[in-house]
Chains A and B, each alone.
Chain A
Amino acid sequence: DGGITQSPKYLFRKEGQNVTLSCEQNLNHDAMYWYRQDPGQGLRLIYYSQIVNDFQKGDIAEGYSVSREKKESFPLTVTSAQKNPTAFYLCASSRDRKANEQYFGPGTRLTVT
């Protein structure tokens, strides 16, 4: 089955530690996205990548970093500089940067204490 996988589903970390969230897609999509969702809120864009080895900041990039070394992978690192890292993180992909439909993964719920 083609799709997007995110792992793990739940992640717990101590404050001050960096943590990397995995996102993999086998849809052969060029564009990939990372969103953050807080309770009762909509999604907010953290970073997006339109092509391998290229990515752009979204609306809330501070405290996060990404890489896009392979077409199928777009990992997100939550650094210790992110003041409120506890959230639900969603990865998505689309055929290309102008595609109308984004496919979302199941999400990773990160809790930092």
Chain B
Amino acid sequence: DAKTTQPPSMDCAEGRAANLPCNHSTISGNEYVYWYRQIHSQGPQYIIHGLKNNETNEMASLIITEDRKSSTLILPHATLRDTAVYYCIVSDFTSGTYKYIFGTGTRLKVLA
């Protein structure tokens, strides 16, 4: 079973920030939070990952709460091309379990 809980769908107006939440209340100390997105019928695309500090790259920002039980992916200025399913995953690639467990993700629709 997936270790994360995400809302099944969200809408966002084009040009506005999209804030996608994720709960991971059972996360352990060595587990990272990863975000991927999948545009319809394509392979998933890596967005960002973090352990406990907030992270930012050219695509998005990742905000992790101090207790690490939840996180938010922020797309600062959503465009129509950001319409996709977004997956939040927690995994520990240092322990010998070299795999992700995908849930069903959040289907983000960016509206014109």
Contact = CB atoms under 8 A, between A and B. Distances in A.
Most buried by A among B43, B44, B93, B104: B43
Given A40-B104, A97-B93, A104-B45, A58 B34 contact: no
B102 A42 contact: yes
Contacts of A64: none
Contact of A92 (B43, B49, B87): B43
Interface residues of B, number: 20
Residue of B34, B46, B103 with most partner-chain A CB within 10 A: B46
A41 B87 CA distance: 11
Interface in B91-112: 93-94, 98-100, 102-105
Contacts of A88: 41
A104 B93 contact: no
Classify the interface of chain B: helix, strand, loop or mixed.
loop
Contacts of A42: 2, 87, 102-105
Nearest to B104: A42
A100 B32 contact: yes
Interface string B48-71: 010000000000000000000000
Nearest to A44: B102
Contacts of A85: none
Given A42-B102, A43-B100, A90 B94 contact: no
A102 interface: yes
A81 interface: no
B102 A98 contact: no
Contacts of B45: 104
Given A42-B87, A58-B99, A99 B93 contact: yes
Top 6 closest pairs, chain A to chain B, by CB = A104-B43, A42-B102, A43-B102, A101-B46, A97-B98, A104-B44
29 contacts: A4-B43, A40-B104, A41-B104, A42-B87, A42-B102, A42-B103, A43-B44, A43-B100, A44-B102, A45-B99, A45-B100, A48-B98, A50-B98, A59-B99, A88-B41, A90-B44, A92-B43, A92-B44, A98-B93, A98-B94, A98-B98, A99-B93, A100-B93, A101-B49, A102-B44, A104-B44, A105-B43, A107-B42, A109-B41
